[in-house]
């Protein structure tokens, strides 16, 4: 037998083995489908804003955050809970039930930006500490208590406001809004512990699902299968969000797809987005009501938070209604845009990215690349619009969206003693001399200069309210506080 014949026979045997394997796999797949094994996973349950549940990272009760005790001198004090301090969710703090005579007590609420990340171990650099400094410079004797917490959202703020009720607050300062989607995704994961999301092309293979389920049961040892499947909780949450949003976009219909707002920016309307915004509105309304019910009638300062538009979208998704040709065109255009960006050819980057967004107007990534190229080549107004669009279409943003500021202004309208302060004028990088790296540490956390800016603006509002002798409503101008 010649060498050529041996090779031909070997290749024939390999082909036959492959065909046999494919045939056996196809037979198993058809058999499992015919028997309905395993059952296809249900769509993940969706936590609603009005379901009365909680999306909290930490226990949903006052004892989960604060502890009351009586000191050796017989004075009742409040302190942050031990487990909160040990896990570095909150600062280690202690204060009396009543403020000292002549001292204004100010509580600051919010997430890690209020806590002071990345300066948690240098509390003097946090915005509550800078607020204290600027008030002192203005001659105001204040006790500023930082109740910010890692990953805390508006749910936590409401709980903590209830926890400090009756403790003589002169002002509540709320810097919250970055973690709303994170806490929603956590609630989504908690409601769907057994739900597994796999890529669309693989999820339809029953043999794969059966094998994966067997491996999961044999290795989990009682661990949440969601964590075993994805290895890491935040990633698991994000994949659940992606699955839920893609299902909404695939179904289509009213309320599923983004629509243009009055400024021409596409805004999401899917059920996931709507649930987050409805919950945020409920909590903002609760903050206003809690402040109004306090005997001390504290001023309520609600910050409309800035967002670092130079941050990559965390969860861009492609329009599931795209055909294969459209998807190929989008990938090709984005490849050209990325190549042009690497070569610092900003006009070409804008051209290719803009063409890609016309093919798939849902995907945030094309708008982001376009906006960054415009920021490098001007005009900055167009860059801001493109980057704002990328943020609004991020399916799991760790930054505030435009509607959150609108919600704050709506709930504060006509309410005495409630101030909404928009920080855009201080954080707007379109102004000469202001760039993201000066004020932002990352997507939402600030630099020392950024935190000082927030503290200074908060001091301005409080000093103005003191000088007027009453609360304020709206974005009224305030006098400058002394510089540090």
Note whether residue 164 is domain-resident.
Answer: no
Rounded Cα distance between 392 and 151, Å, is 21
Q: 21 lies in which domain range?
A: 3-46+183-256
Note whether residue 126 is domain-resident.
Answer: no
Note whether residue 234 is domain-resident.
Answer: yes
Rounded Cα distance between 118 and 126, Å, is 9
Task: Please name which of 238, 233, 189 lies closest in space to residue 44, comparing C-alpha atoms.
Answer: 189
β strands within 104-168, DSSP E:
104-110, 142-146
Final residue belonging to a domain, choices 338, 371, 392: 392
Residues 458-476 have pLDDT tens digits of 999 999 988 876 443 333 3
Rounded Cα distance between 255 and 7, Å, is 61
Give pairs for 400-406: CB < 8 Å, separation 24+: 400/177, 400/178, 400/180, 400/304, 400/305, 400/306, 400/307, 400/444, 401/267, 402/261, 402/265, 402/267, 403/267, 403/277, 404/177, 404/180, 404/277, 404/280, 404/304, 404/305, 405/304, 405/305
Q: Are 371 and 391 in contact (CB under 8 A)?
A: no
What are 103's two structure tokens? 């001292």
pLDDT tens across the length of the chain (484 residues): 565 677 777 787 888 778 887 788 777 777 766 666 665 555 666 665 444 444 444 444 445 788 888 877 778 899 888 878 777 888 899 999 999 999 999 999 999 999 999 998 999 999 999 999 999 999 999 999 999 999 899 999 999 999 999 999 999 999 999 999 988 888 777 777 666 444 444 545 666 666 655 654 554 444 444 443 434 566 667 777 887 788 778 776 656 789 898 888 999 988 889 889 999 999 999 999 999 999 989 999 999 999 999 999 999 999 888 888 999 999 999 999 999 999 999 999 999 999 999 999 999 999 999 999 998 887 788 899 999 999 999 998 999 999 999 999 999 999 999 999 999 889 987 776 666 778 999 999 999 999 999 999 999 999 998 887 644 333 333 334 344 3
> Which pLDDT does position 220 carry in this prediction?
41
Note whether residue 309 is domain-resident.
Answer: no
How many angstroms separate the most distant Cα atoms in the chain?
106
Q: Are residues 209 and 354 in the same domain?
A: no
Phi, psi of 26 (to 5 degrees): -65, -40
Rounded Cα distance between 119 and 131, Å, is 15
Note whether residue 423 is domain-resident.
Answer: no
Q: Are 108 and 127 in contact (CB under 8 A)?
A: yes
Task: Please name which of 483, 474, 467, 398 lies closest in space to residue 183, comparing C-alpha atoms.
Answer: 398
Rounded Cα distance between 373 and 341, Å, is 7
Tell me how many domains the chain contains.
Answer: 2
Rounded Cα distance between 425 and 283, Å, is 26
> Which residues are 66's β-sheet partners?
80
Residues 376-426 have pLDDT tens digits of 887 788 899 999 999 999 998 999 999 999 999 999 999 999 999 999 889
10 Å Cβ neighbour count for 228?
Answer: 16
Note whether residue 15 is domain-resident.
Answer: yes
10 Å Cβ neighbour count for 432?
Answer: 7
Rounded Cα distance between 33 and 44, Å, is 22
10 Å Cβ neighbour count for 174?
Answer: 25
Rounded Cα distance between 381 and 389, Å, is 12
Final residue belonging to a domain, choices 256, 281, 304: 256
Rounded Cα distance between 473 and 409, Å, is 9
Rounded Cα distance between 225 and 196, Å, is 8
Final residue belonging to a domain, choices 348, 371, 392: 392
Q: What's the predicted TM-score (pTM) here?
A: 0.80
Note whether residue 17 is domain-resident.
Answer: yes
Element (DSSP H or E) covering residue 300: strand 299-304
Rounded Cα distance between 133 and 144, Å, is 10
CATH number, domain containing residue 384: 1.25.40.10
Note whether residue 57 is domain-resident.
Answer: no
Residue 219, Cβ density class (10 Å: 0-12 exposed, 13-18 middle, ≥19 buried): exposed
Rounded Cα distance between 252 and 272, Å, is 14
């Amino acid at each position: 037998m010649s060498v050529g014949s041996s090779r031909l026979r070997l290749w024939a045997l390999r082909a036959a083995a492959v065909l046999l394997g494919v045939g056996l796999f196809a037979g198993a797949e058809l058999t499992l489908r015919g028997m309905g094994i395993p059952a296809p996973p249900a769509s993940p349950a969706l936590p609603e804003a009005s379901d009365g549940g909680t999306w909290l990272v930490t226990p949903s009760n006052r004892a989960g955050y604060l502890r009351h005790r009586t000191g050796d001198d017989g004075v009742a004090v409040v302190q942050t809970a031990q487990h909160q301090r040990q896990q570095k969710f909150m600062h280690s703090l202690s204060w009396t039930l009543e403020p000292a005579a002549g001292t204004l007590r100010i509580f600051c609420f919010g997430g890690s930006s209020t806590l002071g990340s990345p300066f948690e171990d240098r509390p003097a650099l946090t915005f509550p500490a800078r607020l204290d400094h600027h008030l002192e410079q203005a001659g105001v004797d204040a006790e500023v208590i930082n109740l910010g917490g890692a990953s805390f959202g508006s749910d936590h703020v409401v709980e903590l406001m209830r926890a400090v009720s009756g403790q003589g607050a002169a002002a509540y300062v709320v810097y919250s809004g970055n973690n709303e989607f994170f806490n929603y995704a956590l609630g989504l994961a908690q409601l769907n512990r057994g739900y597994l999301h796999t890529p669309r092309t693989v999820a339809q293979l029953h043999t794969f699902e059966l094998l994966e389920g067997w491996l999961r049961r044999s290795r989990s040892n009682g661990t949440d299968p969601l964590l075993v499947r994805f290895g890491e909780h935040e990633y698991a949450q994000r994949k659940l969000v992606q699955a839920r949003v893609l299902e909404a976009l695939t179904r289509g219909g009213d309320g599923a797809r983004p629509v243009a707002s009055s400024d021409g920016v596409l805004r999401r309307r899917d059920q996931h987005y709507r649930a987050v915004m409805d919950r945020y509105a409920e909590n903002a309304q609760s903050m206003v009501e809690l402040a109004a019910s306090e005997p001390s009638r504290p001023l309520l300062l609600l910050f409309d938070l800035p967002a670092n538009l130079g941050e990559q979208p965390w969860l861009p998704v492609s329009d599931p209604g795209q055909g294969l040709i459209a998807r190929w065109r989008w990938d090709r255009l984005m490849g050209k845009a990325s190549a042009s960006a690497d070569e610092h050819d900003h006009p070409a980057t804008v051209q290719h990215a803009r063409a890609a967004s016309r093919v798939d107007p849902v995907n945030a990534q094309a708008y982001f690349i376009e906006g960054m190229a415009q920021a490098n080549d001007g005009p900055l107004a167009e860059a801001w619009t493109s980057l704002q669009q990328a943020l609004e279409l991020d399916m799991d943003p760790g930054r505030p969206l435009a509607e959150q500021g609108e919600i704050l202004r709506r709930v504060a309208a006509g309410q005495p003693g409630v101030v909404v302060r928009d920080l855009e004028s201080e954080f707007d990088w379109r102004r000469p001399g202001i760039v993201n790296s000066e004020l932002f540490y990352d997507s939402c956390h600030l630099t020392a200069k950024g935190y000082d800016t927030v503290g200074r603006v908060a001091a301005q509002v409080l000093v103005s309210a003191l000088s007027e002798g009453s609360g304020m409503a709206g974005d009224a101008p305030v006098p400058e506080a002394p510089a540090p």
